Structure 1
């Protein structure tokens, strides 16, 4: 069973889109909290760096790894695996290893979980302070949609078969 026409190319396009959204979401303001005349804007990178001193450094590493680095790595590995297949060429040399990593790291890539947890927290603090959502928050929301669309085109069995036959 071969994929829908252009499915590999769709996955590659969604992966590029996801990488761009993720990179933008790292540095743009995620949210702004204002209460009693004081306000503070923060980005994902800024929050992780705020925890980078002392005994909280592993937390900063975990935040950046699971929310940012792993999803970007998974997108890049999917592009590496599917780019030649989408263009009718044989798979690259380590495509099977790259795709295996994509599958193995899926439970650890937590961008979707992060945005859901953030939304719950924002509802809880909404009565205590004024919260303004920044472009990075919306980039993460769009990223969830892009990931869902990408997943709708990914068939592990089809990709494994294409890697083995091409």
Structure 2
């Protein structure tokens, strides 16, 4: 993607690299092609065939996995005949007394509420576009909110912390993973795929100009 003279360019036609801030004139590439930053090689625009439908499917799957991970047992600990099962919320809300309550609530929000909100917002915003309907009310603001929440979705950080903690207590008790653990692991995996498939520039273009998937601004 060629660089441009900023002084002569229309701001509405510009796209900035999220890594090095280089400015380019945005142009929708053909399906299967990508617009890449010439300076740091970050992918700027990457439309894919049927990407919208895949993203909605991934968001719906993430929604189910979040709810399942909260409901089913996350971990089972046994020692000398004593057995205890803990859900994901039990682990996140382990400290509920004093100032640690704020920390527990923050952990719960980052690993449960934020992924849940992002999945719901993605389905709400992209669903009508993919099925050739007008953008829903407040779509621009809600998609901006979903993008603002993206750095705060820390399911993978929690998974890494759990792995470290389990290594430390493995010699003290017998540990076994419940269904919620594997659901949570699948959620982390799906979140990575979701973020890689999302072409944010295409979504912004569709929302700002009212395009639908049939008009090829959001790959269906």
Normalised by the length of structure 2, the TM-score is 0.70
Q: Give the one of 156, 159, 163 matched to 2:203.
A: 159
How far did 1:4 drift?
2.0
Q: Give the one of 43, 63, 80 matched to 2:87.
A: 43
- CA–CA distance in structure 2, aligned partners of residues 118 and 47 of structure 1: 9
- CA–CA distance in structure 1, aligned partners of residues 197 and 92 of structure 2: 33
Q: Residue 42 of structure 1 aligns to a residue in which SS?
A: strand
Structure label with greater radius of gyration: 2
Structural mapping, 1:30-109, within 5 Å: 30-109=74-153
Structure 2 gaps of 5+ residues are 1-27, 32-46, 211-220
Higher helix share: 1
1:102-141 deviation digits (Å, cap 9, x = unpaired): 1111111111211121112212221222110110000011
How far did 1:90 drift?
2.0
Give every structure 1 segment of 4 or more consecutive aligned residues whose post-TM-superposition deviation is greater than 6 Å: none
* Count of aligned pairs between the two proteins: 166
- CA–CA distance in structure 1, aligned partners of residues 99 and 195 of structure 2: 37
Say which structure, 1 or 2, has more relative contact order (CA 8 Å, 6+ apart): 1
- CA–CA distance in structure 2, aligned partners of residues 56 and 47 of structure 1: 13
Please report the RMSD computed on the Cα atoms of aligned residues, expressed in angstroms.
1.6
Structure 1 gaps of 5+ residues are none
Higher mean C-alpha deviation, range 20-29 or range 103-112: 103-112
How far did 1:59 drift?
2.4
Higher strand share: 2
